Amino acid sequence: MMLNSLKKHLFFYVMLFFFTYLLGYSSASTLQIISTFDSNLEGWRSDGGVIEYISMGRYLKMKDTVNSSMYVIAPNKFLGNLLSFDEGVLSFDSKIFNPDVSYPDFGKIRINNLYLDIIDINPTQSWKSYSIPLKSSLWGVSQEEWEEVLSNVTNISVCLEAGQYVNEIMGFDNFTITATNDCAIFDSDNDGVIDQWDHCPNTPINSYVNKNGCPINRNSAVSGQVSVKGHPFTQGKVMLIQSGEIFQNDNLDANGFFSFENYAEEKPFSIIIRKKTDK
């Protein structure tokens, strides 16, 4: 593949998908933040108990050490602007290792100063998944108040207290915040960088921005050309994707070339080429 006219410091990724029989060109992705504890605690902290990483099974274990409710506290990757997750789902897995439970606060979720008890049953000795929609009506606030909370999330915690007088031991895994498949990805200033990652909101329309959504000089924008001449994909379809948005969706030209112009060099983008079929 030949790549021309690229300026330095360009983060450029070319992905070729070799499908002999492709039935269509649609694809789906889900916006999601997740902790699976595959190798460590991933920055999770505790309040009212002691946590440790369990490598055999790869999960967080929490032991009650005080006579008050114990919480696990989410790390920074779950904080900040979460407007894109409005009407999404928060979920996690949990279990108890000693079955004597008697406390109803297990499963209470805190987001900033809002609390919601999502579970009305005791935890079990086998892993079980729990989830709750992130909807203003369920959290007891107006949509305006809810959006204000989601726009600046500073704290998310989960109560794992299951016994009022018992030094219980709890397991915790797969904490996830997922956007619904049909929810909008908010990009308020329409600069190609979603609000969650935009460091410069309210950028003027048609501004050239970097990967943080901040204005850059148009002269630092990049243009280029990709060629697959002579490759079986010469008659293929091509898409240019930047910040999760499709900016170009075309056929390769008769000579197997694809050209692009004036894309911000500091914002990574991908070019996906797929084989064209008659089906």
One digit per residue, the tens of pLDDT, for the chain of length 279 reads 433 333 333 333 333 333 222 323 333 346 899 999 999 999 999 998 999 999 999 999 999 888 888 999 999 999 999 998 999 999 999 999 987 666 677 888 999 999 887 656 678 889 998 888 999 988 989 999 999 999 999 999 999 988 776 788 999 999 999 998 554 456 667 676 766 667 787 778 767 677 677 876 655 566 676 666 666 656 677 766 666 566 667 777 777 776 766 665 556 667 777 666 554
Residue 115 has φ and ψ, to the nearest 5°, of -120, 145
Which of 253, 260, 224, 228 has the alpha carbon at shortest distance from 17? 228
Q: What is the pTM of this model?
A: 0.57
Q: What per-residue confidence (pLDDT) applies to 20?
A: 24
Q: Is 214 helix (H, G, I), strand (E, B) or coil?
A: coil
> What percent of the chain is predicted at pLDDT more than 70?
59
β-sheet bridge partners, residue 34: 176
The two structure tokens encoding residue 233: 């994909």
Residue span(s) of the chain under CATH 2.60.120.260 come to 32-178
β-sheet bridge partners, residue 64: 49
Ranges of beta strands (E only) in 43-155 are 45-47, 49-54, 59-64, 71-73, 89-96, 108-111, 114-117, 128-133
Q: What per-residue confidence (pLDDT) applies to 206?
A: 64
Q: What per-residue confidence (pLDDT) applies to 121?
A: 66
Q: What is the CATH number of domain 32-178?
A: 2.60.120.260
Which of 38, 7, 3, 28 has the alpha carbon at shortest distance from 219? 7
